[in-house]
Structure 1
Amino acid sequence: MTAEQYQGLNALSQPGEFTELDRFMFESWGYLVIPGVLSADQAQECLEAATRLHERAGTTGWAQVGRGFETEQSLDNLIDHPAVLPKVRALYGDRFILQSAWCTKQPAFGGLGGWHQDGSGAYDFKQLAYPIPLLQLRASYLLTDQSLPRMGNMEMIPGSHRAQVPLPADIRRDKADLPIGHVICAPAGSVLLFHNAVWHRTYIHDGDYDRYTAHYIYSPPWVRFSDRFTNDKDYLERTTPVRRYLAGEYERPDAPFGAGYPATVFDDESK
């Protein structure tokens, strides 16, 4: 079975509440697909913002630009989007940070990416425990249409976050196809929420336009930022208390994440 044929299966969720079915699907497959998070106009606004980021950075080819939320309001609005944040809170509780936010560009007629798990180049997450713990929960906002295969989709291996053995080296070296590869097909404005340990790659992009995705990565509060060394002070002054909290900006009067860690700033007490 080809990746194109397999794409009909989807761990489909709804915006907002993290349901019991969501939890079962996420634990089983390692990811959820949430259609309809952004309207067409909102997705277009975010796409234009992502394009500006790359134009200012002068990127070429496949590239990613971080911390766009500091300068683009439409991207700032995604940090605590009500369609996604309840699911993040259900998985982490109320103490977590936005570790990074990357706008990625796959160029027109882009080829296959390499199979990988998310993590740290300095320390492989699989050294921590089995199963690999949830240390980076990624919410990927699709800013260009990916409703059919070969549109720069993400390809996932369902349930691979629980695998006790690595993906074979020759598969990774050759960027080879797998009979269980699942090409995620969803329109612009959808969100792919996934566990760092799921094996995945960027799929082929046949279009004559650049493909953009905005990735928001949430982590426990002691994980270091990966798209910035510090938060921009001007941004912190003008953003909301919740977003400032998620940016990880707080005092540490005694010890890191000890008594100085602030109480939650969320308006409700639900997880």
Structure 2
Amino acid sequence: MLNPEVAPGAFTELDRFVFESWGYLVIPDVLTTAEAEECYDASARLHAARDKEFGQLGRGYETEPSLERLIDHPAVLPKVRGLFGDRFVLQSSWNTMQPAHGGTGGWHQDGSGAYDFGRLGYPVPLIQLRASFLLTDQTRPGTGNMELIPGSHRSTVPLPADIRAARGDTPIGHVICAPIGSVLVFHNGVWHRTYRHDGDRDRYTAHYVYSPPWVRPADRLTNSADFLERTTPMRRALMGEFERPDAPYGAGYDPLPFD
């Protein structure tokens, strides 16, 4: 099956062309099977007190070291830097669970329910870049895959309302089939949905959403003081913990502490 696969690490000009054309990238082999299983177990602990239904929880990196390590993973962060430059933050982190034998989700674009990003301009600007770590094998359809519509971040019209209301199929939906440990990176403007899950094991995915530094965090009102004290300088900066410049995000705002 055709996938917009790119190599981990450095963001190349071909990566940029693929991303601008499709609105998303697939990076295979980011996590080993053992690393993905460790993150899966951490995800299960996060969701243990929830009802067994589709849902998401934020801030898992504060209590689970395996999930914290994904914040600035060297296979993924250069892609974010290539698209945003040297100044961006981790706007949110969501850990999602789709229960075994879960149905297909609804079509949507990422963004704010309070203000449609499409009102800011055409094409829909890149405000939220999502990196989704696949913690289960999804090499075939029906395993809790993500389904996206390639290039839809550049469409001048929305996905028809009747398709969205019925959670219907489209002739150009692309079900991402990728092995455990792969990462899907996609633009907030791409129309997407959770595909059905026919398997007997719950599906967990760890999502990390990066944004310009002026975007309000969605998974937290404030950062955990304990987490900030023990984490790395890069991760602390990605939490948006920086000295307030002379003007908001003006000349006094330092870039991220890249090596």
> Which TM-score applies when normalising by structure 2?
0.98
Q: Percent identity?
A: 71
Paired position in structure 1 for 2:31: 38
Q: CA deviation at 1:18?
A: 1.1
Paired position in structure 2 for 1:201: 193
Does residue 29 of the first structure (1) align with residue 17 of the second (2)? no
What is the total number of aligned residue pairs between the two structures?
Answer: 259
Select the residue among 98, 105, 108 that pairs with 1:106: 98
Paired position in structure 1 for 2:86: 94
Paired position in structure 1 for 2:180: 188
Q: CA deviation at 1:58?
A: 2.3
Secondary structure at the counterpart of residue 98 of structure 1:
strand
* Aligned-partner residue type, residue 43 of structure 1: A
Paired position in structure 2 for 1:5: none
Conservation of the 8 A alpha-carbon contact between 2:146 and 2:192: yes
Secondary structure at the counterpart of residue 23 of structure 1:
helix
Q: CA deviation at 1:251?
A: 2.4
Conservation of the 8 A alpha-carbon contact between 2:238 and 2:256: no
User: What do residues 25-78 of structure 1 show as CA deviations (whole Å, max 9, x unaligned)?
Assistant: 1000000111100001100111111111111x4243001010101111111100
* Aligned-partner residue type, residue 185 of structure 2: L
CA distance in 2, matches of 1:260, 1:45: 40
Please list every run of 5 or more consecutive structure 1 residues that lacks an aligned counterpart in the other structure: 1-7
User: What do residues 112-152 of structure 1 show as CA deviations (whole Å, max 9, x unaligned)?
Assistant: 10000000011110010000000000000001111100000
User: What do residues 89-123 of structure 1 show as CA deviations (whole Å, max 9, x unaligned)?
Assistant: 00000100000000000011000100000000111
* Aligned-partner residue type, residue 202 of structure 1: T
Secondary structure at the counterpart of residue 24 of structure 1:
helix
* Aligned-partner residue type, residue 41 of structure 2: E
Secondary structure at the counterpart of residue 28 of structure 1:
helix
* Aligned-partner residue type, residue 11 of structure 1: P
Paired position in structure 2 for 1:116: 108
Q: CA deviation at 1:21?
A: 1.4
* Aligned-partner residue type, residue 262 of structure 1: D
Select the residue among 54, 60, 63 that pairs with 1:62: 54
Please list every run of 5 or more consecutive structure 2 residues that lacks an aligned counterpart in the other structure: none
Secondary structure at the counterpart of residue 242 of structure 1:
helix
Secondary structure at the counterpart of residue 82 of structure 2:
helix
Q: Please list, as runs of the form range in 1=range in 2, the aligned pairs for 1:81-160 lying within 5 A after superposition.
A: 81-160=73-152
Paired position in structure 2 for 1:47: 40
